[in-house]
Structure 1
Amino acid sequence: MTFLEATAILLAGLAAGTINTVVGSGTLITFPTLLAFGVPPVTANVSNTIGLVPGSVSGAVGYRRELAGQRSRTLRLCLASLIGGLVGALLLLVLPAGAFTAIVPVLILLGLVLVVFQPRISTWVAARHEATGGMPHHGAWWVWPAVLLAGVYGGYFGAAQGVLLMAVLGIGVDETLQRSNAVKNVLAAIVNGVAGLLFIVVADVDWRIVALIGVGSLVGGQVGATVGRRLPAPALRGFIVVVGVVALAAFLLD
């Protein structure tokens, strides 16, 4: 690995940590960066998942004030994320590599669609909250299984996992988006953490990549919790879409 490649991966980790805390699509930055440097797709995904764990934890800590009063709800949903993340990681390991190559472009496309339509999702969420006039403290009945499915998605690949979780929490839980974002960061940390632990034991991990992304995402998590939320959302989404299109092209032209 050259100095230029190491620097690029470190910066990609920083950007991913920031974006994961604010938006939830950081894998669309790190994953194509690793592919561009010739890292095999499954190794890239495994190493990226482990490397992003410090950033997920950092973002959750940065949003700790917004977690006040949400302990019981968060713990309940953490179980769903833990189970889902483990199932998704197992699927990545047991399915043939060809399946990953075939499925990932679809997941990236889904992530891009969710990022592009995030403003409309947020508007719909706000209107639904106003119309329903409140929900149970733990949220609608379907929130737990939906968080579990998002965990399966996150354990398998993870791009736009945060956007999926924000959509679920925003629609099914009567909280502000900032407080939902705080819970989202905790759930994403659980998914990445449990998947990462499994990958450490049984998968082919590139620890140089893990270290670079880990350091970058750790710093990025704090940036996202303090400064990142002030960035213009359209510019951030546009950057994610550009990188995602590059990732799609890398897969389809390989």
Structure 2
Amino acid sequence: MNYEWYVYLLSILAGALAGFINTLTGSGSLVTLAMLMFVGLPANYANATNRLGVLTQSTVAVATFYKNGKLNYQSSGWFVVPSVLGAIIGTQLAVNVSEKVIDTAIGVIMVVMLFVILIKPERWLKVENEGKPNSKIFTVIIFFIVGFYAGFLQAGVGILLHVAFVLGAKYSIKDSISLKTFLVFLFTIPSLFIFIWSGQVEWGLAILLSIGQSIGAWSAAHFAMRHPSASLWTYRMLIVVVVLSIIHIFFWK
């Protein structure tokens, strides 16, 4: 597809904002999905195109965690396998349902995530979890469901993974951060290949989003070191973006 010059510029800016938000608070895909749909990309194509940036950013993050010895992935097969399997099934469903279904699903998720963001789930997740883990069968089911959602839509999956790791598997929030990124990296790989095979990735915009997200992540890391209130302002910015996205999806096409 050919777009006006400002669409390409907007892709880089939205990617940068998403990378910035993902680094400091999470749920940056809400920004990129909203931007892609705003410039006229069908909802199912927006859902697919968004995945390249997710993979790029998570690759950088996983490499950083691994390099600094912060990634403890031993004995992780019991949650990696069900989540990746769930992601594959969820992605297959996403490429086969209509644009209207994806459009509605994204709108509903925007509304749900707005409430999730407003109640700040990190307030009750930031504890050192010393409780006994739930049964592995129960936890496997939870990770399969989270993986399925990630394959289908992905937006906001970071929050769901935190819940699964901290409240389900009884990891500390500190360990959850690196493991969450590791899982996103793993299940985004098959999802992206499925979307590519389906022909739903708009490569020009996807590459620009990836560039923007890398810039945003780098900027956020430096900004956070210099400004203690960085997370607060990013949190407020995310709320504004989500509210505007809900208005656009449901009331202003």
Q: Please give the range of the TM-score, normalised by the shorter of the 2 chains.
A: 0.7 to 0.9
**Which residue identity does 1:51 align to in structure 2?**
G
Counterpart pick for 1:103 among 102, 105, 110: 105
Residue 211 and residue 231 in structure 1: after superposition, are their counterparts in 2 closer, same or farther (change >3 A)?
farther
1:156 partner amino acid: F
C-alpha separation between the residues in 2 aligned to 1:40 and 1:78?
Answer: 31
Gaps of 5+ in 1: none
| Counterparts of 1:111 and 1:66, CA distance in 2 | 32
The 1-side partners of 2:87 and 2:215 are apart by: 24
In 2, distance between residues paired with 1:102 and 1:243?
18
Change (3 A) 1:201 1:215: same
Residue from 131, 135, 151 that aligns with 2:132 = 135
User: What's the counterpart of residue 7 of structure 1?
Assistant: 9
Q: Distance in 1 between matches of 2:231 and 2:163?
A: 16
Q: CA deviation at 1:128?
A: 8.0
Structure 2 distance, partners of 1:184, 1:175, is 11
- The offset of 1:111, in angstroms, is 1.9
Aligned 8 A contact 1:34 1:44 in 2:
yes
Q: What's the offset of the Cα at 1:45? A: 1.3
- The aligned residue for residue 186 of structure 1 is 182
Q: Paired residue for 1:212?
A: 208
Q: Distance in 2 between matches of 1:73 and 1:110?
A: 33
5+ long unaligned stretches in structure 2: none
Query: How far apart are residue 81 of structure 1 and its match?
Result: 2.4
- 1:23 Cα shift? 2.8
1:66–1:182 CA contact under 8 A, matched in 2: no
On the 8 A contact 1:58/1:221 being kept in 2, the answer is no
CA deviation string 1:32-56 (max 9, x = no partner): 1112211111111111112321012
| Residue identity opposite 2:239 in structure 1 | V
Query: Which of 147, 155, 158 is matched with 1:159 structurally?
Result: 155
- Give the Å deviation of 1:93: 1.3
Amino acid at match of 2:247: A
Q: Closer, same or farther in 2 for the Cα pair 1:234/1:221, shift >3 Å?
A: closer
1:124 paired residue number: 124
Tell me what 1:202 maps to. 198
Normalised TM-score (structure 1): 0.85
User: What's the secondary structure of 1:204's corresponding residue?
Assistant: coil
Partner of 1:237: 235
Q: CA RMSD in A?
A: 2.4
Amino acid at match of 1:67: K
The letter for the 1-side match of 2:143 is V
Residue aligning to 1:248: 246
Change (3 A) 1:209 1:115: same
1:148 aligns with 2:144: yes
Partner Cα distance (2:240, 2:85) in 1: 32
Asked if structure 1 preserves the Cα contact closer than 8 Å seen for 2:24 and 2:234, the reply is no
Do the aligned residues in 2 keep the contact of 1:10 with 1:216 (CA within 8 Å)? yes
Q: CA 1:122/1:90 → structure 2, altered by over 3 Å: closer, same or farther?
A: same
Counterpart in the other structure of 2:91: 89
Letter in 2 for 1:23: T
SS in 2 for 1:234: helix
CA separation in 1, counterparts of 2:24 and 2:187? 17
Number of equivalenced pairs: 246
- The offset of 1:76, in angstroms, is 3.4
Q: Residues of 2 paired with 1:43 and 1:231: CA distance?
A: 35
Partner SS state of residue 155, structure 2: coil
1:82-110 Cα distance to aligned partner (Å, 9 max, x none): 11211111111122222212222111122
Once the two structures are TM-superposed, the CA of residue 18 in structure 1 deviates from its matched residue by 3.2
Deviation at 1:207, TM superposition (A): 0.7
Letter in 1 for 2:231: A
Q: Aligned to 1:71, what secondary structure does the other structure show?
A: coil
- Name 2:19's counterpart in structure 1: 17
C-alpha displacement of 1:228? 4.8
User: Matched residues in 2 for 1:66 and 1:110: separation?
Assistant: 35
